[in-house]
Chains A and B, each alone.
Chain A
């Protein structure tokens, strides 16, 4: 009996270690947080000086610095320090679909999955001007659903993070400019 339990524990440890290694891979994988088939369009309005600096969602306790991210060769840069603003999308508050994403860690966008329609999102610029958005939609989509990042005719920000088993899905919140 002891022998059976011993072998069970050894096999269990192997599965734990395999899952651990896979999670470690997910943590470092460049594909994490990416969307496939995303056609990158150069942003006209972006310059380092006017890039957004901070994002907060008070109802979720999210308050993070924003770092600029540019997709090169299908690699989506991520940061452990805050949220990433896709520089090839319009500046938040301008006409179009601004894209901001972050890891699903509790210190970053981990609580984004609790976002509710009506929650306020505030984006702050270097000159301390603030743009206030209100979440109008939330959904879980597959990484292949890149139309979520397609240009729009309104002034919106699309926030997303990973969700689902082994980060296989993307949780998306779309907020529209209010002021």
Chain B
């Protein structure tokens, strides 16, 4: 391989990688989880209807956490279904970065103010969990740290109508094949492999 070919390959590889991975993992902050939030709590709404981007509106307790302009929304509905929405402030993101995040399962929200956030674009990602539905209490605790917008609880605005497409990472969907690593499963897989091999070899011999 000559120098020219090497240089062209290196340039091509760099261009490909920069197009494929425009947002490094460091640029997407660690939102954590609604099971044990680590960010500053800015608001709690114990009652009322709260919107989940691209899903629907639900009655329940909505808790908002913030860090560096990014928002973690934890909605525990009255039925015990939990929706965690990671709101990534995308005001400084290029279109290729936004496209990359979309491919990673994020949804683009052009104007966060429709969801009670700042008036800037956001990328949103929903994750489901289960939770204990709270009984509404008359005196909700609200801390005085900066709120994300004029109405701090993300609620769907006039244009934010729910779409049939629901983008929520389901916990139940991941519960398949939960017994990996189990001796029984290992034995069955090996047995199937060896039986298949024996039958295959016998068939191959007899076909000669």
Contacts and interface: CB of A to CB of B under 8 A. Distances in A.
Nearest to A32: B181
Interface stretch (B113-121, B139-147, B148-156, B171-179): B171-179
Given A9-B200, A138-B171, A162 B36 contact: no
B204 interface: yes
Contacts of A27: 181-183, 186
By secondary structure, the B interface counts as mixed
Nearest to A1: B207
A172 B171 CA distance: 10
A5 B177 CA distance: 28
B33 A9 contact: no
A147 B201 CA distance: 51
Interface in A14-72: 14-17, 19-20, 23-24, 26-27, 32
Contacts of A166: 177, 180
Contacts of B127: 139
Q: State which size class the interface on B falls in.
A: 35 or more
B131 interface: yes
A8 B207 CA distance: 14
Interface residues of A, number: 56
Contacts of A118: 132
Given A27-B186, A104-B180, A147-B38, A7 B33 contact: no
A20 B193 contact: yes
Interface of A: 2-3, 5-10, 12-17, 19-20, 23-24, 26-27, 32, 97, 103-106, 110, 113, 116-118, 134, 136-141, 145, 147-150, 152, 158, 161-167, 169, 171-172, 174
Instruction: Please name the 6 residue pairs, one residue from A and one from B, whose CB atoms are nearest each other, closest first.
Output: A9-B200, A16-B193, A13-B196, A13-B197, A6-B203, A139-B129
